[in-house]
Amino acid sequence: MIAAVVFPQRPVAADTPWLTVSEDGFASFTVPAAYIEQQAGQVSQVVVEGNFGPSFTWAEYGLTRWGDVWSGVLGPLPPGLYHYQITADDTKSLKDPTNDTRVASKPLWSAFFVRGDASRLLEDAPEGSRGKVETLTYRAGREERSVLVWTPPGHSAKGPKPLPVLYLRTGAGGSATDWADLARAPQILDNLTARKAIEPMVVVFDGDGPDDRKAFDDLRKAVAHRYRVHQDPAHQAIAGTAEGGTWALRTGLSRPGGFGYVGSFSGLATEAGGKPDAHAINRTVKLLRLYTGNVTDPAYNATVRLTRALDRAGVRYGFDGVNPDAGGNWHAWRENLIDFLPRLFRKAADNGPSPGHGRLKGEFVPPKPGTTPTPFVSEDGFVTFDTPAGYSGARHVTVWANWGPNGSWLRVPMTRAGDRWRVTVGPLEPWFYYYQFFVDLKQVKDTANPTKITSEPTWSTFLVKGERARLVTDVPKGKGGKVESLTYRSNVVNEERTALVWLPPGYDPRRAEPYPVLYLQHGGGQSYTDWVEMGRAKQILDNLFLDGKLVPMVVVMGNGNVPDFTRELLENIVPAARDRYHVSGDPARQALAGLSMGGAQTLEVLKARPGTFGYVAAFSSWFGPADGVDVDAINNGTKLLRLYVGDQSDFVYPLFMQSLATLDELGIRYEFDGPTPGPHGWDVWQKNLIDLAPRLFRR
């Protein structure tokens, strides 16, 4: 949930780049609203579509309208190559006119790099060490076709020494240019050649070509006519992605005397093709290597079946293992190509899985749509979503959740499954997640999920269990504290209001010493229920208490949606809590904290009534005007003033940093240990509470 805050308009010059990428991997998008309106008319939403979802799946990152621009910061993204386009209202897509990169087969796409060790081979090699890429046009029957051909640096078509040749094909709908624009295959080849990690070879980049044998033979003849290449099987290799991998596999197995090396990158073959001659294949094929992404890769189950078929047939093969971090996409296929190339036309030292890759665990088969509560969460963190029934006529359906970098929000497109829509996303790290569906721009609740968020009726939640999520997971029954409702009369808004109150395990209203008390506030657009329903405050407090890290305390979560929060807190919430519960009125035993708007309210109380609360904390907030601040009273009356903020993707980050400068200038003492990784959302605020609560009432 985003807690509301109003920023001034930020006009952007027409020639200002829409995208900037920081050295640490944050992608900042700033899209002029006037340009969007000029191209698409009045729109209600703008998203950046790109391959930055879990497992590098295609996802949508929603931008926020701030005055004259649509903007947002996403990251940090892992090192790699990313592609994106801008889309308004689901159907109105356009290219970023300030980004000169091009994808020939996808005219609206632009590209950007996040640099790092993992993307080193994708960068341009130094001048003088690059191979050559040229177009080869040939006739396949009555059709004229074109492919791209890479030759190594210094290669001459009339040179004295023939080179081996590798044929690469894309999946359905792909283009030969995809190997250059999406795979960065020429750069990979250049860099591996410079490192002497591969044998000199000619590489033919093909698109979604014909499957018949004669058409491929026409290509091989054209390559042999134009380039000085070996003709024998030991110096011929074939590989491809998705359907191209299926084609390569079947071509290689059906013609065991034709190719010495065969690679299938997320190939969709489920059987070895007829009755393969295992003896001939094993004798002539030096390398048959299979690749697959994780269970989000359409090839995963196909690979499970294929390996069983090859085992039954007695065909020898190598398997790269299951890529845990990518599905069936170009991120995975680039890694496949980098692994495959050094194994060609030489003896490989090892034909086992790549480091970090896992084994096949059998087919992944989630429950049929509509048969179980959703989402379905597998043991290894893959989550399958189904929309409610009745959406067969929908045109664009996504599921939106906090599964982007450090808890940022991304929408992942779903696919039609009868009158529902479905998608599997992951692997997700153990944590607490919240989500909703977008059906043709309309927010829709997952009615098969019994969880609810009072302030956000279309949201649902789920938990991926694991050690990382332990502090936001329910403690064993009977071991935790208790959450009660506290009703009180507000003289600020003249109505009955409600707060939620957490009581620690073993709470004793008759003990001699009153309990210290934390007043914990929500943000804008939220309410008193959010810290329990979204913030997991009960689970966090229960676990910290059982870990022995929490001073036994009472936590009061009030309703801060009032015009004068200082009065509401001091005249209504605090007196009601003291009347109902055995809590202290000693400033040294009182704490006040809040997030976003609630954090600003907290700091306003600090300025207006310094010394009332000995412990004060603000999450993702700002200090505001410094006029009339009694610095001595704040410093003398506050045992702890602790501040928190998300990283660059938290949109209050600039205001927060201005607040630190204000505090420094005033001389107010505070603690700040650096940004909490994540945006303006519950992932950050949960971690802030986890850090803050054990610090209270110990000084």
Burial class (CB in 10 A: 0-12, 13-18, 19+), 584: middle
Residue 257: its pLDDT value, please?
A: 82
Which residues are registered as beta bridge partners of 444?
437
Q: Six-digit token pair at 558?
A: 């009030």
352: in domain = no
Which residues are registered as beta bridge partners of 413?
398
What pLDDT, in 10s, does the model give residues 664-691? Answer: 999 999 999 999 999 999 999 999 999 9
Q: Which of 465, 480, 511 delimits the end of a domain? A: 465
262: in domain = yes
What pLDDT, in 10s, does the model give residues 406-455? Answer: 999 999 999 999 899 999 999 999 999 999 999 999 999 999 999 999 99
Interatomic CA distance for residues 356 and 187, integer angstroms: 24
For residues 607 and 583, is the Cβ–Cβ distance under 8 A? no
Q: Are residues 577 and 486 in the same domain?
A: yes
Q: Which of 52, 80, 115 delimits the end of a domain? A: 115
Give the CA dihedral 538, 540, 543, 544, nearest 10 degrees: -120
What pLDDT, in 10s, does the model give residues 577-592? Answer: 999 999 999 999 999 9
For residues 57 and 8, is the Cβ–Cβ distance under 8 A? no
Q: Six-digit token pair at 648?
A: 């660059």
Spatial CA neighbour of 517 closest among 580, 576, 585: 585
- Which one-letter DSSP state was computed for residue 299? H
Half-sphere exposure of 142 (CA within 13 A, CB side): 0
Interatomic CA distance for residues 592 and 594, integer angstroms: 7
For residues 311 and 277, is the Cβ–Cβ distance under 8 A? no
Name the pTM for this structure.
Answer: 0.93
Residue 685: its pLDDT value, please?
A: 98
CA end-to-end span of the chain, whole Å?
Answer: 33
The Cα-based distances of 71 to 62, 65, 285, 515 in angstroms read: 9, 7, 53, 45
CA-only gyration radius of the chain, Å:
30
Q: Are residues 531 and 619 in the same domain?
A: yes
The Cα-based distances of 658 to 516, 554, 626, 654, 663 in angstroms read: 32, 33, 12, 6, 9
Indicate the pLDDT class of residue 292, thresholds 50, 70 and 90.
Answer: very high
Indicate the pLDDT class of residue 88, thresholds 50, 70 and 90.
Answer: very high
Residue 276: its pLDDT value, please?
A: 84
What pLDDT, in 10s, does the model give residues 369-392? Answer: 888 888 999 999 999 999 999 999
pLDDT(6) > 60: no
Which regions of 80-155 does DSSP assign to beta strands (E)?
Answer: 80-88, 92-94, 110-114, 132-140, 143-151
Which residues are registered as beta bridge partners of 439?
397, 442
Q: Are residues 51 and 134 in the same domain?
A: no
pLDDT(7) > 50: no
pLDDT(10) > 50: no
pLDDT(13) > 70: no
Indicate the pLDDT class of residue 8, thresholds 50, 70 and 90.
Answer: very low
- Helix segments in 473-628, DSSP class H: 530-533, 537-546, 565-567, 574-580, 597-608
Q: Are residues 460 and 478 in the same domain?
A: no
- Which one-letter DSSP state was computed for residue 583? B
Q: Are residues 625 and 476 in the same domain?
A: yes
Q: Six-digit token pair at 595?
A: 């997030």
For residues 3 and 525, is the Cβ–Cβ distance under 8 A? yes
- For residue 179, give the H/E element and its range: helix 178-181
Interatomic CA distance for residues 341 and 344, integer angstroms: 6
Interatomic CA distance for residues 449 and 86, integer angstroms: 32
pLDDT(242) > 90: yes
What pLDDT, in 10s, does the model give residues 614-658? Answer: 999 999 999 999 999 999 999 999 999 999 999 999 999 999 999
Interatomic CA distance for residues 254 and 638, integer angstroms: 79
Q: Are residues 309 and 435 in the same domain?
A: no
14: in domain = no
Residue 2: its pLDDT value, please?
A: 44
371: in domain = no
Give the dihedral sign, CA 180/184/185/188.
positive
Q: Are residues 240 and 285 in the same domain?
A: yes
Residue with tokens 């009182």: 590
For residues 507 and 554, is the Cβ–Cβ distance under 8 A? yes
Task: Tell me the pairing of strands 261-265 and 287-292.
Answer: parallel
Burial class (CB in 10 A: 0-12, 13-18, 19+), 1: buried
For residues 531 and 520, is the Cβ–Cβ distance under 8 A? yes
What pLDDT, in 10s, does the model give residues 461-491? Answer: 999 999 999 999 999 999 999 999 999 999 9
For residues 169 and 247, is the Cβ–Cβ distance under 8 A? yes
Task: Tell me the pairing of strands 415-417 and 460-464.
Answer: unpaired
Task: Name the amino acid, one letter, at 265.
Answer: F
Highest mean pLDDT among 9-18, 343-352, 597-606: 597-606
Which residues are registered as beta bridge partners of 66?
69
Interatomic CA distance for residues 462 and 478, integer angstroms: 22
Spatial CA neighbour of 241 closest among 296, 196, 297: 297
Spatial CA neighbour of 402 closest among 6, 686, 29, 85: 686
What pLDDT, in 10s, does the model give residues 89-120? Answer: 999 999 999 999 999 999 999 999 999 998 99
pLDDT(9) > 60: no
- Helix segments in 437-573, DSSP class H: 530-533, 537-546, 565-567
Q: Is there a cis peptide before residue 516, judged by omega within 30 degrees of 0? A: no
Interatomic CA distance for residues 329 and 338, integer angstroms: 15
Q: DSSP of 363-397, one letter per residue?
A: ---PPPTTSSSS-EE-TTS-EEEEPPS--TT-S-E
Q: Is 556 in a helix, a strand, or coil?
A: strand
Q: Are residues 337 and 381 in the same domain?
A: no
350: in domain = no
Residue 352: its pLDDT value, please?
A: 86
Q: Are residues 59 and 182 in the same domain?
A: no
Q: Are residues 513 and 557 in the same domain?
A: yes
Q: What are phi and psi of 632, to 5 degrees?
A: -65, -40
- Which one-letter DSSP state was computed for residue 505? T
Residue 3: its pLDDT value, please?
A: 52
108-112's contacts with Cβ under 8 Å and 24+ in sequence apart are 109/83, 109/84, 109/85, 110/19, 110/83, 110/84, 110/85, 111/81, 111/82, 111/83, 111/84, 111/181, 112/19, 112/21, 112/27, 112/81, 112/82, 112/84
Residue 53: its pLDDT value, please?
A: 97
Q: Mean per-residue pLDDT for 259-274? A: 91
Distance of CA 16 to the CA centre of its chain: 27
Q: Are residues 505 and 461 in the same domain?
A: no
Range of the domain at 278: 121-343
Which residues are registered as beta bridge partners of 675?
none
Interatomic CA distance for residues 306 and 309, integer angstroms: 5
pLDDT(166) > 80: yes
Task: Name the amino acid, one letter, at 675.
Answer: P
Interatomic CA distance for residues 255 and 261, integer angstroms: 12
214: in domain = yes
CATH code of residue 673: 3.40.50.1820
User: Looking at the 3D structure of the chain, how many domains does it have?
Assistant: 4
Burial class (CB in 10 A: 0-12, 13-18, 19+), 319: buried
Q: Is 78 in a helix, a strand, or coil?
A: coil
370: in domain = no
579: in domain = yes
Q: Are residues 168 and 266 in the same domain?
A: yes
- For residue 698, give the H/E element and its range: none
Q: Which of 399, 433, 465 delimits the end of a domain? A: 465
pLDDT(171) > 50: yes
For residues 187 and 122, is the Cβ–Cβ distance under 8 A? yes
